[in-house]
């Protein structure tokens, strides 16, 4: 028998948070019994298996510093809980497969590993510790990005190459940002930036920008014929940009202290409908319209169908979806 507990996590990115834990005997573990039994393991620099389940006698996890081995566990466990809660409470989906069963998390993967990843084969997410200026890969948006790869894999199944690969990556960035906003955490505030906490470039810039993806020096702002030939982390740009335009509209806007400036390919303005509706439209398209081979034109058709079902084809929301696709050069 494992009793349900609320432990305390002293995270690297999100301050002091409550973590779902379990007690057996005099020991506690990072086992979230109220969220599909999600568990967080310490790989201790290994690269295979599960390592060891985080356990301890005090139900306090980490000390806010990356040098404490439990800290990454606290961040990953928190990110998984937020992502679970977002999909359940906002999108009505119970877990990555929709079956109420949680994936598991592994931290401290390898030596100086500057990445994180989802794996269908283990049904788990894995986080590296970073290296040099790159911090541990356990921020909220990265956790939600990786877990969303699991959702995509179990719904549309967007192939991870060509235009569908860019849409797969964008789906992970979209819900990475959505979960970060949903968390409403005062240390790691919501934004339309991906991986800003990791500081992978060493100058405080994020991995990706959704308002104007080309700010990263590699991502594309607009669809063009041939975009299917670029890396999926860059062909995601137009879809991330679509989502930003649909949510917030074009032009300049400051949200939670970050100023965005989002252009359109045709110079025409787009009026946003708010993030909550944009998320609903993308999730409905992902889970009921997109398939493994959906490309940008198909994503336009699918999101319009989803918007029509949710809000009606005469709605402002439907028109905004049309305008946002036009804004990234995907037309009728
Ligand atoms: N962190 C990367 C991602 O989720 C790993 C990869 O390239 N698949 O996109
Ligand atoms: Zn990804
Ligand atoms: Ca972010």
> 117 CA distance to ligand 1 centroid (A)?
5
Q: Among residues of the chain, what percentage have pLDDT more than 90? A: 98
Each residue of 220-276: pLDDT tens digit? 999 999 999 999 999 999 999 999 999 999 999 999 999 999 999 999 999 999 999
The per-residue pLDDT for 3 is 81
Beta-strand pair 31-32/52-53: unpaired
Mean pLDDT over all residues of the chain? Answer: 98
Asked if residues 217 and 205 have their Cβ atoms less than 8 Å apart, the reply is: no
Does 146 qualify as catalytic in the annotation?
Answer: yes
**pLDDT at position 59:** 97
Beta pairing class for 52-53 and 16-24: unpaired
ipTM of model: 0.96
Question: pLDDT class for 1, splitting at 50, 70, 90?
Answer: low
Q: For 47-82, write each residue's pLDDT tens digit.
A: 999 999 999 999 999 999 999 999 999 999 999 999
Decide: 115 in ligand 1 pocket, CB within 6 A: yes
Q: Are 125 and 153 in contact (CB under 8 A)?
A: no
Domains defined for the chain, CATH in brackets: 3-138 (3.10.170.10), 162-327 (1.10.390.10)
pTM for this entry: 0.98
CB of 265 shorter than 6 A to ligand 1: no
Q: Give the full edge-to-edge strand order of the sheet including 16-24.
A: 55-56, 27-29, 16-24, 3-10, 60-61
Query: Which of 115, 139, 145, 147 to mutate for ligand 1's pocket (most ligand atoms within 8 Å of CB)?
Result: 115
DSSP state of 186: S
* 141 confidence band (pLDDT: 50, 70, 90): very high
Give, as residue ranges, everything with CB less than 5 Å from ion ligand 3: 141, 180, 191, 193
CA dist., res. 192 & res. 34, Å (int): 29
Rounded CA separation 158/294 (Å): 7
State residue 74's pLDDT score.
98
- The predicted pLDDT at position 4 comes to 83
Q: How far is the CA of 148 from the centre of ligand 2 (A)?
A: 8
Number of other CB atoms surrounding residue 49 within 10 Å: 10
Task: Name the strand (E) or helix (H) holding 77.
Answer: helix 69-89
Which residues fall within 8 angstroms of residue 159, CB to CB, at 6 or more apart?
A: 165, 168, 292, 293
Alpha helices in 154-295 (DSSP H): 162-183, 232-235, 237-248, 275-288
323 has catalytic annotation: no
Q: Does position 5 have pLDDT exceeding 90, yes or no?
A: no
Residue 265 DSSP SS3: coil
Distance, in Å, from the CA atom of 212 to the CA atom of 241, rounded to the nearest integer, reads 6
- Predicted pLDDT of residue 24: 85
- How does pLDDT run across 177-225, given as a tens digit for each residue? 999 999 999 999 999 999 999 999 999 999 999 999 999 999 999 999 9
* β-bridge pairing 251-255 and 52-53: unpaired
């Amino acid at each position: 028998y494992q009793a349900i507990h609320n432990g305390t996590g002293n995270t690297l990115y999100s301050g002091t948070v409550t973590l779902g834990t379990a007690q057996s005997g005099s020991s506690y573990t990072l086992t979230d019994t109220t969220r599909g039994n999600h568990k967080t393991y310490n790989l201790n620099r290994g690269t295979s298996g599960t390592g060891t389940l985080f356990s301890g006698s005090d139900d306090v996890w980490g000390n806010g510093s990356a040098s404490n081995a439990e800290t990454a566990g606290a961040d990953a466990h928190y990110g998984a809980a937020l992502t679970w809660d977002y999909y359940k409470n906002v999108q009505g989906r119970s877990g990555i497969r929709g079956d109420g069963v949680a994936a598991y998390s592994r931290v401290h993967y390898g030596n100086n590993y500057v990445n994180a990843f989802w794996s269908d084969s283990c049904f788990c997410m894995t986080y590296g510790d970073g290296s040099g200026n790159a911090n541990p890969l356990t921020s909220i948006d990265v956790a939600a990005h990786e877990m969303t790869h699991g959702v995509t894999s179990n719904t549309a199944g967007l192939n991870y190459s060509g235009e569908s690969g860019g849409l797969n990556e964008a789906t992970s960035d979209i819900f990475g940002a959505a979960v970060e906003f949903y968390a409403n955490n005062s240390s790691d505030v919501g934004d339309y930036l991906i991986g800003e906490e990791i500081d992978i470039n060493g100058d405080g810039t994020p991995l990706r920008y959704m308002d104007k993806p080309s700010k990263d020096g590699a991502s594309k702002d607009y669809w063009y014929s041939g975009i299917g030939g670029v890396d999926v982390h860059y062909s995601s740009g137009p879809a991330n940009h679509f989502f930003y335009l649909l949510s917030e509209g074009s032009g300049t806007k400051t949200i939670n202290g970050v100023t965005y400036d989002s252009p359109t390919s045709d110079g025409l303005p787009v009026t946003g409908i708010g993030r909550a509706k944009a998320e609903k439209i993308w999730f409905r398209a992902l889970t009921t319209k997109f398939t493994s081979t959906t490309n940008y034109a198909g994503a336009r058709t699918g999101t319009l169908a989803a918007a029509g079902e949710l809000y009606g084809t005469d709605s402002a929301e439907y028109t905004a979806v049309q305008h946002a696709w036009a804004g990234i050069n995907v037309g009728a």
